[in-house]
Amino acid sequence: LGPINLVALDEYQKELERKAELDHQHAELTEALETLEDAIRKIDRETRALFRNTFDAINQSFGEIFPQLFGGGEAWLMLTDEDLLFTGVTIMARPPGKRNSSIYLLSGGEKALTALSLVFAIFHLNPAPFCLLDEVDAPLDDANVGRYADAVAKMSNAIQFIYITHNKIAMERAEQLMGVTMSESGVSRLVSVDIDRAVELATTE
């Protein structure tokens, strides 16, 4: 059988201690992994619920604002996947007198009004201190500009709107006009007009 290993018991004891330490580390890692997986599942549940509630609220508001800007029609948001963590969102719209279609098939003016409807729906749910709109009325005809200006005026009670425009109708509906002119090459000049004050002066004259 060979010579007796006198240190075998000591080595065995050391290996037992090492195994116990590794088992303890494995148990700790397993517990930590389960804790992380529980946290991830909880976050996923809360994310799905929050997304669903937010989506439904925006979709409802979008469906209400769209016909106000278009003078009729309907619009809604569609989810592209059943899994709310990976889904996309498609914008569907039916302007007055037209068939249902995605936003990609609309004209330039229709796209602008549809996008504005969605922006206003988001702001309606979670108002920001101000909203900056840069020539969004450029592709719109006069009737649509008027409805756009009405929507801005209605929402301006809760949100300050700053919009850049070259449209006379939109300018007339503003409370304050700020114009930029160039009196000489390379030198810009800011001109401010208080619409209410201007109307008051024009009336008195």
Contacts of the segment 138-142: beta carbons below 8 A, 24+ positions apart:
138/112, 138/166, 138/167, 139/107, 139/108, 139/109, 139/111, 139/112, 140/109, 140/112, 140/113, 140/167, 141/109, 142/169
Total domains present in the chain: 1
User: What value does the mean pLDDT of the chain take?
Assistant: 91
Position 56 in a domain: yes
Position 187 in a domain: no
Average the pLDDT over 17-40 and give the result. 96
| Distances 70 to 2, 59, 137, 154, 161 between C-alpha atoms, Å | 98, 17, 13, 16, 20
Helix, strand, coil percentages for the chain (3-state, nearest 5): 55, 20, 25
E strand or H helix that includes residue 6: none
List the single range of 77-86, 128-137, 160-169, 187-196 with lowest mean pLDDT: 187-196
Q: What CATH number has the domain bearing residue 22?
A: 3.40.50.300
Position 147 in a domain: no
Cα(32)–Cα(30) distance, rounded to whole angstroms?
Answer: 5
Position 168 in a domain: no
Cα(123)–Cα(51) distance, rounded to whole angstroms?
Answer: 16
pTM over 0.85: no
Q: Which residues constitute the domain of residue 48?
A: 7-126
The pLDDT-based confidence of 193 (bands split at 50, 70, 90) is confident
Average the pLDDT over 72-79 and give the result. 96
pLDDT of residue 205: 60
Rounded to whole angstroms, the maximal C-alpha distance in the chain is 125
Position 65 in a domain: yes
pLDDT of residue 51: 96
Position 178 in a domain: no
Angle formed by the axes of helices 8-70 and 142-155, to 10°? 120
Position 155 in a domain: no
**Higher local confidence (pLDDT), 187 or 205:** 187
Pick the closest to residue 63 from 142, 125, 135 (CA basis). 125
- Structure tokens, 15: 């290996």
Tens digits of per-residue pLDDT, 138-185? 999 999 999 999 999 999 989 999 999 999 999 988 888 988 888 778
Position 138 in a domain: no
Q: Where are the alpha helices (DSSP H) in 71-166?
A: 108-125, 142-155
Tens digits of per-residue pLDDT, 114-136? 999 999 999 999 889 999 999 99
